[in-house]
Amino acid sequence: MSTRPATTLKHIAEHLGLSVAAVSMALRDHASLPATTIARVKRAALKLRYTPNSAGSALAAHRQQLRVRRDFSVIALVSNWPTRDDWLQRPSAQRLLAGAKARARAYGYELQHLWARESGMTPARFSRVLTSRGIRGLILAPLEHPDSHLDLAWEHFSTVTIERPVRYAYFHHVLPNYSADLRLAWARLRERGYLRIGLVIEATLAERVAHHWEAAYAFEQSHNAPTAAPIPTLLVSGPDSPATISAWLHTHRPDAVISRCNDVLAAAATLKLLVPRDLGYASLNVVDDAPDVSGILQHRDVMGAAAVDALHGLLHRNHCGPHAVVQGTQIDGSWHEGRTVRKPPRERKP
């Protein structure tokens, strides 16, 4: 009994009158080929029942990885804030950059932080500068405002974003798992005996995370709160935040607060509430909060590494521009034991 020989790239090339290299590039959606050629090659591959050889594909991928430094050695982490260091001065941003640089070195890249407004640069000119330097891979830092825009020539670049900008949701994005983080903070507070747990968030941050913290808080209150009188979420903004928080604390009398607002501890102090005796405090981002606070450690270094992992894959698949379907990577935070909540019952002295 004879078996049909496997179709190879050479068979497809001969069938279409193309080179083997052109067929290989078309099957990988290479940006240098016309869309009509790519579609023609894929139709022929389907008709001839072409199946990629897994061992050959692995070898090709290995060879591509060895060619990283020659083909596209530099990737750029692009920020677009009013000044070069506006974003980078945040401790969480510094951790993310360190994680991204370490992973980039492991792949053989050099990662450079580039400011999109350098010397009054326009987006069009910035795109040309990137192209002239041979930079094809971009990691877009969080934008100053969630709906900000940066109109680069995205069709020329493989792009991954940190967080999920409203206008660029179709790029692969890497972000904290906001819902899981809040539920973890809630669980840790309940373990320590806190019953009336409130939530305070800066309004701009609530918008930045697409209100995931509020949604998770509402879920926990409706399913796992022992009290019949739920505490409303407090969103604050502007210079009146401390006074607004003080009034909210006085009215609702929570015994613990989950927070992403740096004015909660000051407001508690004005009411002479001792932390953690009178009020527990759990931050949703301990790195950018006051020293020694308890709460969620967002693993920004892991986020930076994950962004480089995703970008590395896009570069080798020659994928430029946005995806057809929204996709991304979420990184769960972990609990950080500080000094602003009570110890778990098993650790308290009798």
Instruction: Please name the amino acid found at residue 180.
Output: A
Residue type, 223: H
Domains and CATH numbers, the chain: 9-52 (no CATH), 69-176+301-332 (3.40.50.2300), 178-298+336-347 (3.40.50.2300)
**Going by C-beta distance under 8 Å and a sequence separation of 6 or more, which residues neighbour residue 31?**
318, 320
Give 138's pLDDT tier (boundaries 50, 70, 90).
Answer: very high
Q: What is the mean pLDDT of the chain?
A: 89
Nearest C-alpha neighbor of 187 from the set 215, 235, 225 = 225
- pLDDT in the model for residue 244: 96
Following DSSP, what letter does each residue of 27-66 receive, concatenated? HTT-TTS-HHHHHHHHHHHHHTT----HHHHHHHHHHHHH
For residue 79, which of 150, 18, 15, 12 has the smallest C-alpha distance?
150
CB 275 within 8 A of CB 281: yes
DSSP run (H or E) holding 295: strand 294-297
User: What is the token pair recorded at 29?
Assistant: 């959606």
Cis peptide before 291 (omega within 30 of 0): no
- pLDDT tens digits, one per residue of 314-350: 998 999 999 999 999 999 999 999 999 999 887 655 4
Instruction: Give pLDDT tens digits for 24-48.
Output: 888 877 766 788 888 898 898 888 8
pLDDT band, very low/low/confident/very high, at 7 (cuts 50, 70, 90): confident
Strands 294-297 and 334-336: antiparallel
Given a contact cutoff of 8 angstroms between Cβ atoms, the answer to whether 309 and 172 are in contact is no
